[in-house]
Amino acid sequence: MDRKKIVAGNWKMNLTVNESQNLAQEISNQIATIETPNTRIIIAPTFTNLYPVYHHTKLDHRLEIAAQNMHQAVKGAFTGEISAEMLKSVGVNVVILGHSERRQYFCETNEALAKKIETVLEKDMDAIFCFGEVLEDRKADKHFEVVERQIKEVLFYFNPEYFKSIILAYEPVWAIGTGETATPEQAQEMHAFVRKLLAEKFGQEIADQVSILYGGSVKPGNAKEIFSKPDVDGGLIGGAALKAEDFTAIVKAIN
């Protein structure tokens, strides 16, 4: 079976309820004219806007709603946190985990992320697991080492069958919100490296079925070239996801 192509928009800490509903509706209207037979289109509003956006767009079955984070516990005294069951109850079945901003600003560790992903998988949800190196690692030629450690410490504990619900997203941290972008060749090189790691651990069949997204300043102008690489299966989009026309143009670029 061919790997799914995926375009996921991470809205981060942006937009009010009304703004989120309006943007989701604009995206829904614009993708209505696009043939996307093997492409998943995902948007990730803030926690407060998940249900309003889901309710507003629930008739558009091509538009999936994702959360930007989740706590690993089922319930309990974790003030300010959100559980998997809470997300499922508002129509969310996909969770972004391990984004570089979560690692940087909220000190998320590989150990904690492994537990979060385990909870997601146990609840029959999909995880978008983010990983990648910072500029210092790239300059020191340690980017493969850093990524290998993140992949092994988080994912190598899971049974192979879980990978049907795991989406990977490579984030060269130095290319997020900076205007810098890894070249298509750099993206392909890292994606191929990650797929090789998975093949060595879980077998080629599992490695070939996992979608690996690129997440680093993807825009309408560079999306087609990046997506043309054989191991790049789509994108985790930041700033461009906040403009319906830009996001739709990126969706078009993957077809």
What secondary structure does DSSP assign to 141-195, as a single string?
T-HHHHHHHHHHHHHTTS-GGGGGGEEEEE--GGGSSSS----HHHHHHHHHHHH
Helix, strand, or coil here: 214? strand
5-253 homologous superfamily: Aldolase class I (3.20.20.70)
Please write down the HEC assignment for all residues of 47-64. HHHHHHHHHHHCCCCCEE
**Domain limits, the chain:** 5-253
Res. 242: pLDDT tops 60: yes
| DSSP-derived 3-state class of residue 34 | coil
Alpha carbon 202 to chain centroid, angstroms: 21
pLDDT beyond 70 at 243: yes
What is the pLDDT, as a whole number, of residue 33?
A: 87
pLDDT bucket at 216, cuts 50 / 70 / 90: confident
Catalytic site positions: 99, 171
Residues 6+ apart with CB under 8 A from 109: 103
When the pLDDT of each residue in the chain is averaged and rounded to a whole number, the result is 94
Q: Above pLDDT 70, what percent of the chain?
A: 98
Residue pLDDT, tens place only, 109-167: 999 999 999 999 999 999 999 999 998 898 899 999 999 999 999 999 999 999 999 99
pLDDT digit string (tens) for 45-79?
Answer: 999 999 999 999 887 888 999 999 999 999 999 99
pTM, to two decimals: 0.96
d(CA 12, CA 10): 6
Q: What is the pLDDT of residue 61?
A: 85
Residue 174's pLDDT is 83
